[in-house]
Amino acid sequence: MTGAAPAPAATLVIFGAMGDLAKRLLVPSLLNLVRDGLLGDDFRIIGVSHHDVDDAGLRDGLDDFVGKEDDAGEAWASLRERISYLRGSFDEDAPYAALKARVTGNAAFYLATAPGFFGTIVDRLADAGLTDEADGFRRVLIEKPFGHNLPSAQALNRQILARIGEGQVYRIDHFLGKETVQNIMIARFANALLEAVWNSRYIDHVQITAAETVSVGTRGKFYDATGALRDMIPNHLFQLLAMVGMEPPNSFDAEAIRNEKAKLLAAVRGPKAGEVARDAVRGQYRAGRAGDADVPDYHAEDLIAADSRTETYAAIRVEVETWRWAGVPFYLRTGKALSARDTEIVVVFKPVPFALFRDTDVTRLPPNELVLQVQPHEGISLDFIVKKPGPVVDTGEASLDFRYADHFPLGHRTGYETLLYDALIGDQTLFQRADMIEAGWAAVQPILDAWGEGGEPEPYAAGSAGPAGAATMLAREGRHWHALG
């Protein structure tokens, strides 16, 4: 964020300040913003939670989580002093009355709480007059999951928008804070080379993957009630899909960009009731070794029901019903305890129309593939065909690789810096609008319904590439998944 101006003076109220998100990501990101000169001395934090601690207790609890780099000490000492604590239950009046007395001017309220509190907190903030923008902006940042299906997301949007305007709501999808995700738009719209072939004439299909080696670990309670589909697809993976598929916006204004993304998301057609068995695959891991860890059966993990049918892997096939994408399948997959951590978008191009090369059957030429790598190594690569040296005309595969880290210093970033800074300066580009959230849920609702009715996820070994059914889903159409890792 070179050249960016510091955010205006404001108070950030973090509901759920003693939680993991606040400690691991929010406060370290705010510290990075202080170090970059993007938050001034007039920025302060009030942490709210039901834990029995005081200012010192909150600050001490944060000490272990903030950067230990040489230059972090001074910035942390300065920010630490500006962090205070307010004890209270989110569904009682007292903390809101106390906030009313403490908060003046600009304020943003970050709901880093269990999702069941989102609506209540907004109601209580509004009841207490804390969302009135008479003497400064008042914004609410809301974490995912935003609803657990289409009706609950619609109900939550209604509840929130009955009290505050859409312009005050910043629904977080932390994938949008990742540099490479933001770069997809630049890669597409600043490079004539790409945009010229970015359509169904040249693109055979697109694969979007978010594979993790971690298992559910300590998050069993949340995860068993959620599953891989809800956890990742209508939000994170659809955001990647929107970036890849959207039409060029007329400007880089937040609304112009969000309008194009919303249009794309509204055009996503997921499997309907009778198509779920063919176009959606769910899996659940069994004991194995993933990453550097031994992983038990999903059923043997903490806080998982012994007969749980929750999927830890989901793969779906969707189409995008627009002029640009008609007939191009988009395959999306995500899962835990897989063979590699790998978040990527693979754009697979169509074969050349005619094979000129003697003895080289065009159907045997591997397609050009453009890989937009989001994690773990941010970069872009392009696989293409070359002639193998020698007197005989024979083809081989080569790759052009661009790695961010080789060209630009990436520094220490959590991914939340941009999101927090943008919320404080009032830029909603990277936040989900109500219609975008609902379009995401609408596209997967038939799958949720079908899976809710019965059936079992297919087992896969921890450390593998996922259930066999996911490979079959592509093989049926003569395609295969890009190898993980």
What positions carry a catalytic annotation?
236
**Minimum separation from the CB atom of position 325 to ligand BG6 (A):** 25
**Minimum separation from the CB atom of position 385 to ligand BG6 (A):** 32
Token pair recorded at residue 105: 């001017």
Exposure string (b/e) for 7-28, b if CB count within 10 Å is 16 or more?
bbebbbbbbbbbbebbbebbbb
Token pair recorded at residue 153: 């997301």
**Out of 231, 301, 342, 383, the residue judged to bind ligand BG6 by CB under 6 A:** 231
Sign of torsion over alpha carbons 87, 89, 92, 96: positive
**Minimum separation from the CB atom of position 232 to ligand BG6 (A):** 6
Nearer to ligand BG6 by Cβ, of 259 and 343: the residue is 343
Nearer to ligand BG6 by Cβ, of 210 and 380: the residue is 210
Nearer to ligand BG6 by Cβ, of 232 and 246: the residue is 232
**Minimum separation from the CB atom of position 165 to ligand BG6 (A):** 26
* Side-chain half-sphere CA neighbours of 129 within 13 A: 10
Binding mask 345-384 for ligand BG6 (x = CB under 6 A): ------------------------------x---------
Residue nearest to ligand BG6 (CB): 231
Nearer to ligand BG6 by Cβ, of 309 and 413: the residue is 413
Nearer to ligand BG6 by Cβ, of 231 and 369: the residue is 231
279 binds ligand BG6 (CB under 6 A): no
Check residue 426 and give left, alpha or beta (phi > 0: left; psi -120 to 50: alpha).
Answer: left
Nearer to ligand BG6 by Cβ, of 84 and 375: the residue is 375
**Minimum separation from the CB atom of position 376 to ligand BG6 (A):** 9
Report how many residues bind ligand BG6 under the rule CB under 6 A.
5
**Out of 212, 260, 344, 378, the residue judged to bind ligand BG6 by CB under 6 A:** 212
Task: Kindly report the length of the chain.
Answer: 485
Subset of 144-173 contacting ligand BG6 (CB under 6 A): 144
Nearer to ligand BG6 by Cβ, of 231 and 279: the residue is 231
**Minimum separation from the CB atom of position 430 to ligand BG6 (A):** 14
**Minimum separation from the CB atom of position 343 to ligand BG6 (A):** 6
Kindly list the residues in this chain that would bind ligand BG6 in the complex (CB under 6 A). 144, 212, 231, 343, 375
